[in-house]
Amino acid sequence: MRSLPTRRIAAVALTAAASVVALAGPAFAHVTVNPGSAAQGGYTAVDFRVPNESDTASTVKLEVNLPLDHPLASVRTLPLPGWSAAVEKAKLDKPIKVHGSDVNEAVSKITWTADPGTKIAPGQFQEFRVSLGPLPTDADSMAFKALQTYDNGDVVRWIDEAPAGQPEPAHPAPTLKLTKAAAGDDHHGAGATASPAAGAHGDSSDHAAASDGDAKSSDSTARILGVVGIVVGVIGTAVGVLGLRRKNSGSAS
């Protein structure tokens, strides 16, 4: 009969650990932009990270909308084997000046479509790299609303924006936080494009491929390590309690 409390404690520990992992899971399934931050006024290379959430269908298309309230003069995609990138541009109501030149149009949407035989299968993810800039100096963030299409026709709309201090919505838009540029910064990041005055492009950029490791976000790694730490802590506490109970039971007998 003394084993009943022990079994209950073990069951509680396992349930708590499973709950922690289950709660953490959805955070890893969002479409995100990585790294999650960049300096205002600069150029950067980012990856739109797309995990496949379905157990039965595969992702075959990604559409990313670029905000035109803060248009970007230079946008370039990095070629990705098995995927075709199409770039759409929109005429600006008011031209913007970039390095002394007027820019009258900007990229409004990028669509990646899987070639036959290519897909993001269940349990997989893919990253779509883009170099862009110059980033606005009068905004704290940029939201890139995205649509993820599956081969069964389902479309997940990652377009929700949560006000500051509010809980994260179910389908948050990939958001790039903008930070103040450091003093003396030349406003060119590791993935800077060579000539912003050349306009918006859908072609590859050698600079977009530079410093690939710098553009990888550590957000997912940090979350995973945090979840593992919590799970280990829960199990460790349960094991400690079990040991203490056994010791007390031995002393009593």
What's 43's DSSP letter?
A: B
Encode pLDDT of 123-152 as tens digits.
Answer: 999 999 999 999 999 999 999 999 999 999
Instruction: Please report the pLDDT score of residue 214 as a whole number.
Output: 41
User: What stretch of H or E contains 178?
Assistant: strand 175-179
Is residue 205's pLDDT more than 80? no
Instruction: Report pLDDT for 17.
Output: 44
Q: Among candidates 123, 132, 119, 116, which has minimal Cα distance to 196?
A: 132
Q: Tell me the per-residue pLDDT of 186-198, one tens digit each, with 9 for 90 and over.
A: 555 444 433 443 3
pLDDT of residue 96: 85
First to last CA, the chain: 14
Helix (H) or strand (E) holding 158: strand 155-158
Q: 0.85 cut: is pTM over it?
A: no
Tokens for 167?
A: 């809980």
**Distance, CA of 231 to CA of 68 (rounded, Å):** 43
Q: Identify the DSSP state of 202.
A: S
Q: Which of 199, 81, 82 is nearest to 133 (CA)?
A: 199
